[in-house]
């Protein structure tokens, strides 16, 4: 296993009952200058993730005591921290279930540590990209870029990190069709794969939280999405 290039130190949590894997990941991320804590069951992982100050949580789906999907659902009610799911279950339904629970990304097992590291940086880079950006307002929807908050008619909307980033891109490109490839590259640093539903799931969640039937985010079939200029 090669040592990854060092970058800004991160505080990470890995929740996985495979102690050998956890040990390997600790060594790998230490080589990049990061701190990786490990928990080995869902209950302890949830407590640690909810009480800690981690930049990102890496969460296995198949966990003892409490499964990863349940941990993620409970964590989302208590804290807004980016989460990447690890899963040996390759069924399409399981991936959608993870996204519906609020995962920012997922990575099938077995995986290359370098790919996990790249996905972590991609998720966190989206958050950093909004720092210093100007606020944007369309109709009664306002994005506070500094605080990464969204307000609708004076009330704060509860969005995940991924939902915020999607809305930020679409609103700053209002009136222009943003292709699926463009969104996937911006959010995950990879092109959209055939039959990959990750964007569709997050767009669906965003519509439910923002639109109330107003049709703000429009699907351009076979191309991408466009945010209406006026709300």
Can you name the residues that pair with 38 across neighbouring β-strands?
A: 14
CA dihedral 103, 95, 98, 25 (to 10 degrees): -60
72-91 tens-digit pLDDT: 999 988 888 899 999 876 56
Indicate yes or no: pTM above 0.75.
no
CB 51 within 8 A of CB 95: no
Domains of the chain: 11-129 (3.40.50.2300), 136-227 (1.10.10.10)
pLDDT for the residue 6:
45
**What is the DSSP-derived secondary structure letter of residue 83?**
E
pLDDT for the residue 1:
42
Cα 89–Cα 191–Cα 158 angle in degrees, nearest 5: 70
- List of residues 6+ apart from 197 with CB closer than 8 A: 92, 95, 96, 99
CA dihedral 189, 191, 192, 193 (to 10 degrees): -110
174-224 tens-digit pLDDT: 999 999 889 988 888 777 776 677 888 889 989 988 876 578 899 998 899
Establish how many alpha carbons lie within 13 A of residue 13's alpha carbon, considering only the half-sphere containing its beta carbon.
23
């Amino acid at each position: 296993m090669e040592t990854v290039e060092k970058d800004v130190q991160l505080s990470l949590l890995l929740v996985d009952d495979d102690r050998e894997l956890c040990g390997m990941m600790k060594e790998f991320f230490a080589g990049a200058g990061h701190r990786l804590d490990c928990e080995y069951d869902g209950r302890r992982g949830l407590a640690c993730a909810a009480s800690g100050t981690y930049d990102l949580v890496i969460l296995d789906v198949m966990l003892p005591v409490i499964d990863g999907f349940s941990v993620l659902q409970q964590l989302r009610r208590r804290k807004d921290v980016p989460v990447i799911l690890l899963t040996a279950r390759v069924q399409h339904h399981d991936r959608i279930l993870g996204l519906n629970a609020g995962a920012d990304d997922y990575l099938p097992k077995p995986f290359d540590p370098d790919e996990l590291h790249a996905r972590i940086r991609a998720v966190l880079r989206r958050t950093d990209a909004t720092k210093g950006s100007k606020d944007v307002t369309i109709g009664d929807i306002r994005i506070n870029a500094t605080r990464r908050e969204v307000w609708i008619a004076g009330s704060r909307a509860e969005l995940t990190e991924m939902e915020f980033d999607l809305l930020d891109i679409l609103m700053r490109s209002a009136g222009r069709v943003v292709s699926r490839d463009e969104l996937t590259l911006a959010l995950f640093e990879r092109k959209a794969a055939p039959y990959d539903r990750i964007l569709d799931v997050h767009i669906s969640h965003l519509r439910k939280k923002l639109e109330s039937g107003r049709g703000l985010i429009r699907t351009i079939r076979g191309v991408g999405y466009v945010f209406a200029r006026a709300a």
